[in-house]
Chain A
Amino acid sequence: MISANLSAIFYLISGVLFILALRGLSSPETSRQGNLFGISGMIIAVTVTFLLIGNFSTGFIFVLIFILIGGLIGAFIAYRIPMTAMPELVAGFHSLVGLAAVFVAISAFLNPEAFNLGTKGNIKLGSLIEMSIGAAVGAITFSGSIIAFLKLQGIMSGSPIVFKGQHPLNAIILISIVVLIYLLCASQSSNLFWILLAVSFLIGFLLIIPIGGADMPVVISMLNSYSGWAAAGIGFTLENTALIITGALVGSSGAILSYIMCKGMNRSFFNVILGGFGATDISSSSANKEQRPVKSGNADDAAFLMKNASSVIIVPGYGMAVAQAQHALREMVDTLKKNDIKVSYAIHPVAGRMPGHMNVLLAEANVPYDEVFELEEINNDFANADVAFVIGANDVTNPVAKTDPQSPIYGMPVLDVEKCKSVLFVKRSLSPGYAGIDNDLFYKENTLMLFADAKKMTEDITKNL
């Protein structure tokens, strides 16, 4: 119906709209408009594809039916999912992108004529390379995301699964993928194509199982990046500009997020990817610590401290998400504000299970985003604040990161919570956090431990205010 040149221009336009969609996210005001750009880009890309093929027969009806089925499922999930389950949802979505890339690659391999890639058993070399890379990366994204999903959902234990010879095994498999792609291109054998897919699924699985729950922010960002590279690989195969641009955008976006997350933990990307963190360090670091006295209090004490404060800084962490305490927290803050107490929120880059996790939860609880600050913006304010209210966070407040070069988290940027006049620490027990190390903050003179479920404690404090 329309010429290939015209359609290429429209694909370019939709690629540009996707760039604008990401650009919009530079501030919450422009973000909603950005999302509309993204949606229009998608509508253009799909419409142009229909016009380009120009086949409006029975097959077209089926395409619409499948879009409708998928769309309904997607819309249903989007409206029903609780905000606390966002990390699982994103991991699940990544797996679908990966699987879709694999399916498109399989389809193109079985029927290259439809894609103008040559004939079966004689696919153009360049296309075959692009296709097999896209398929392999897609398969890794799929199985990796499934594991990430299971770990986040709690179906699979969040603790790292390590075994002897793990890294050499992974290295051998990764090398074998490269060899398989080479052999596949040389022989065009479909058996090798299936083996390549199987091996790629396997390595995606093996790469993620040794990585622990709290490292999931890095894993999700990394898989986000992979899904982009898989899309780009397929984009090269299909010679489609929209797909190439999008793949590159998503690929670099995920890579940057992984970098930010790693920096937030002061660990190298490889240290995270090789996994096992927190599994091996527990015994060594907690054995040499004797029991030290802690001060613990109840909701009444906490309410008293906060009532007499003039400024309070809230430090939320993953525990807040688990306890679903964000609404109760906001109610407490509303009461504090009525008493003319200044309240702000401090978010560590790796708080929660995915980048920006805490921000979304606070936004859900109607906390205005201009009361929520990043680590660098707020860290100097702790010294002037009266009370720090730590709810569900642990390692990100540990002063050991600044003082003890032996500690596994040494050098990690932490919130200077201990500089506050007093610290209220809501936690269920004294158990160490993810890094497996004791938090010095528990034993400080000015720390009051509140041993309870985060939501329950917050509600009790509100009653006592």
Chain B
Amino acid sequence: MEIDPLIFRLSIFILSIFVGYYVVWSVTPSLHTPLMSVTNAISSVIIVGAIIAGLSGNSDTIFNTSSTFGFLAIALAAINIFGGFLVTQRMLAMYKKKKKDK
């Protein structure tokens, strides 16, 4: 009997939860705010689904109901991706060590 591909995806899912668990516990508490903004940005990889949805119309009708939702989702996810990564970058640039001469 073949194994259902769903089982493989489920395995990836469960293992990723464990990876996430250990990786996030090692995040220093002072960086918890950047952690939230960066997880925000990466969870917007949902844009992949939005792109498929947006391109689902045929060449005559680019905007049907289904693809319109796709395009809206693309814009929302793009706000998050750019906003999330850039604001994280901005925050992380502020974390400085003590200057030696002090």
Contacts and interface: CB of A to CB of B under 8 A. Distances in A.
A90 B40 contact: yes
A45 B59 CA distance: 24
Contacts of A9: none
Contacts of A368: 96-99
Interface string A74-116: 1101110101001001100110110111011011101101110
Interface in A364-398: 364, 366, 368-372, 374
A114 B80 contact: no
Best-surrounded residue of A23, A66, A126, A251 (most CB of chain B within 10 A): A66
A78 B83 contact: yes
A252 B21 contact: yes
Given A74-B82, A89-B87, A369-B96, A248 B16 contact: yes
A69 B71 CA distance: 11
Contacts of A188: none
Nearest to B56: A114
A45 B52 CA distance: 12
Interface residues on B, range: 35 or more
A405 interface: no
Interface residues on A, range: 35 or more
B78 A66 contact: yes
Contacts of A68: 78
Contacts of B31: 25, 28, 31, 356, 359
Contact of A74 (B35, B64, B81, B95): B81
Nearest to A104: B49
Nearest to B62: A59
A249 B28 contact: no
Interface string A227-241: 110011011111111
A10 B79 CA distance: 23
Nearest to B71: A66
Contacts of A297: none
A50 interface: yes
A259 B82 CA distance: 28
Given A104-B46, A107-B66, 12 more contacts: A22-B24, A25-B35, A28-B31, A42-B42, A59-B59, A59-B62, A62-B71, A77-B87, A104-B69, A104-B73, A106-B66, A374-B30
